[in-house]
Chain A
Amino acid sequence: MNPATIFGLCAAVLVGLGLFGVIVQPQPLRKLLAFNVLGGGVFLLFGIVARRGEAAGFGADPVPQAMVITGLVVAFAATALAVALLRRLFDETSRATLRPDDDGADS
């Protein structure tokens, strides 16, 4: 097994783990964290595609690398927005849940 395959399988596990967290964890912040783990796995898949595309004296194909760099920054911006939304939700309602407020227990 070469490094690309090892980290490719690692990426597959990360995607599965992240997806599990997004579904099972009830807290929105935990879902966000798990989503970032999922994203890390997807980026790593790009990484192995880049590594396998080693040619022309470069250790890895530069195009997927550039896409990952762009993706990392956008993922950070999206995470920051989600965190800001959550904090505002908590400040307004003293709760941070995705459950619909059916019983009017909102304080």
Chain B
Amino acid sequence: MTVAWAVDLGLAALIVAVAVATVTARGTFAAAVGFVACGLLLALAWVQLAAVDVALTEAAIGALTGMLLLGAAAHLHPTEAGMVAERPGVALRGAATLLCAVVTGALAIVVLSLPDPAPSLAPAAAAHLPATELGNPVTAVLMAYRAIDTLVEKVVVLVALLAVWSLAPDPRWGGRPGASRRRQRDDALAFLAQLLPPIGIVAGVYLVWTSADHPGGAFPGSTLLAAMWLLARMAGLVDAPAVSRRWLRIALVAGPVVFLAVGLAGFAWADRFLAYPDGWAKPLILGIEAAMTVSIAVTLAMLVEGPPERSLSPDAQRAAGERSSSGLEPEP
């Protein structure tokens, strides 16, 4: 008991220390590194809170967020020196400190005065678990009880990708996202990018498959798949597909489309949106998860890659120009 208590206390102290370093670090790059560390420590905290599904998601998504922020920190580095002049004065900093102390204090009081016994939906989730044929209550909530949340969230992520793509300058539209990377044969990154993906792909698919009965999930699984592709991409072993590719777009919408189709079919076989017929819940849920895994993996990878930055090749440009009246300008 005391050992577990000490571990929790040490972990919480470590999280706070790393968060302080993240927020107050001098350089943006250091702050981004601190944020990645903070995310991993938070994943450990989730394990201590008996939420292993969340821990896996936090660790996986935290790594992708770290990648985004590190890339942006490197890209925006030239602006950093000039921003020192914009630092707020002592008065504002003092006021901000006071405000944040009040917010933290208020939250701490709320935490210490939470009702006991705590309200819980766990018994309700357990009561209907046999009907879904699932063993993992978190998956049951995500895919059955509150499937509408997951469906809408899928669409939100897709809309975010559309918004990112729409930031492309006109001449680049339809091209490949991110900078091109030269393939490097002899360095450690290329070696890892060849060694890790087979393991990572198996682990990612396993996380999705096992989430029906054990901690796992479509989100951490597909994040792992996206990370494996990004690793190969960083090493220059693969290139990002042009955003105008049809297979890419089909892969992006497959998950939401299958999810929506099953949801609408619920009207026919169970009289309600997103209802599953008796005895078919588990196969349908696994089918939706399979399609969702593909879509989320591709969406997350493309979100990290960012808007299209490279024009299509001249041939493809001509073809695109013939298809649509808004001809693409050749790259200067």
Q: B120: CB under 8 A from chain A?
A: yes
Chain A residues near B88 (CB-CB < 8 A): 23-24, 26
Q: Determine which of A14, A45, A56, A65 lies in contact with B126 in the assembled complex, contact meaning CB atoms within 8 Å.
A: A56
Contact (Cβ within 8 A) B12 A6 = yes
Take A58-B125, A67-B149 as given contacts and tell me if A12 and B120 are in contact as well, using a CB distance cutoff of 8 Å.
Answer: no
Question: CA–CA, A43 to B51, complex, Å?
Answer: 12
Take A14-B16, A76-B300 as given contacts and tell me if A29 and B104 are in contact as well, using a CB distance cutoff of 8 Å.
Answer: no
Contact (Cβ within 8 A) A56 B51 = no
Contact (Cβ within 8 A) B140 A62 = yes
Residue with the greatest number of chain A CB neighbours at <10 A, chosen from B23, B24, B82, B137: B23
Tell me the count of chain B residues lying within 8 A, CB to CB, of chain A.
97
Q: B61: CB under 8 A from chain A?
A: yes
Question: CA–CA, A3 to B51, complex, Å?
Answer: 13
Q: How far is the CB of B98 from chain A (nearest CB, A)?
A: 10
Chain A residues near B39 (CB-CB < 8 A): 40
Chain A residues near B16 (CB-CB < 8 A): 10, 13-14, 17
Q: B142: CB under 8 A from chain A?
A: yes
Output the nearest chain B residue to A59 by Cβ-Cβ distance: B50
Contact (Cβ within 8 A) B125 A51 = no
Q: Determine which of A3, A49, A65 lies in contact with B141 in the assembled complex, contact meaning CB atoms within 8 Å.
A: A65
Contact (Cβ within 8 A) A36 B35 = yes
Take A86-B72, A88-B167 as given contacts and tell me if A79 and B65 are in contact as well, using a CB distance cutoff of 8 Å.
Answer: yes
Binds A, one of B110-118, B185-193, B248-256, B269-277: B110-118
Residue with the greatest number of chain A CB neighbours at <10 A, chosen from B35, B83, B125: B83
Contact (Cβ within 8 A) B107 A15 = yes
> B-side binding surface: helix, strand, loop or mixed?
helix
Chain A residues near B104 (CB-CB < 8 A): 12-13, 15-16
Q: Determine which of A48, A52, A76, A88 lies in contact with B65 in the assembled complex, contact meaning CB atoms within 8 Å.
A: A76
CB contact list, B1-16 vs A, under 8 A:
4-5, 8-9, 12, 15-16
* Interface bin, chain A: 35 or more
Question: CA–CA, A50 to B54, complex, Å?
Answer: 11
Take A16-B101, A69-B138, A81-B163 as given contacts and tell me if A33 and B87 are in contact as well, using a CB distance cutoff of 8 Å.
Answer: no
Take A19-B99, A33-B22, A48-B111 as given contacts and tell me if A56 and B122 are in contact as well, using a CB distance cutoff of 8 Å.
Answer: yes
Contact (Cβ within 8 A) A10 B50 = no
Binds A, one of B152-160, B198-206, B310-318: B152-160
Take A23-B99, A47-B49 as given contacts and tell me if A62 and B121 are in contact as well, using a CB distance cutoff of 8 Å.
Answer: yes
Contact (Cβ within 8 A) A60 B153 = no
Q: List 16 additional contacts besides A7-B49, A15-B104, A84-B307; criterion CB under 8 Å.
A: A8-B108, A23-B92, A36-B65, A54-B120, A62-B122, A62-B125, A62-B137, A66-B138, A69-B138, A74-B156, A74-B157, A78-B160, A81-B163, A83-B71, A88-B167, A97-B79
Interface residues of B (CB under 8 A from A): 4-5, 8-9, 12, 15-16, 19-20, 22-24, 28, 31-32, 35, 38-39, 42, 45-46, 48-51, 53-54, 57-58, 61, 64-65, 68-69, 71-73, 75-76, 78-80, 82-83, 86-88, 92-93, 96-97, 99-101, 103-105, 107-108, 110-112, 114, 118-123, 125-127, 137-138, 140-142, 145-146, 149-150, 153, 156-157, 160-161, 163-164, 167, 217, 219, 296, 300, 303-304, 306-307
Question: Can you list 14 A-B contacts with CB-CB less than 8 angstroms, sorted by A residue number?
Answer: A7-B49, A11-B111, A24-B88, A29-B73, A33-B35, A34-B22, A55-B126, A63-B146, A72-B61, A79-B69, A80-B303, A83-B306, A84-B167, A96-B76
Q: When A and B form their complex, which 7 residue pairs have the shortest distance between CB atoms, in order from nearest?
A: A59-B50, A53-B120, A16-B104, A8-B111, A12-B107, A77-B160, A52-B118
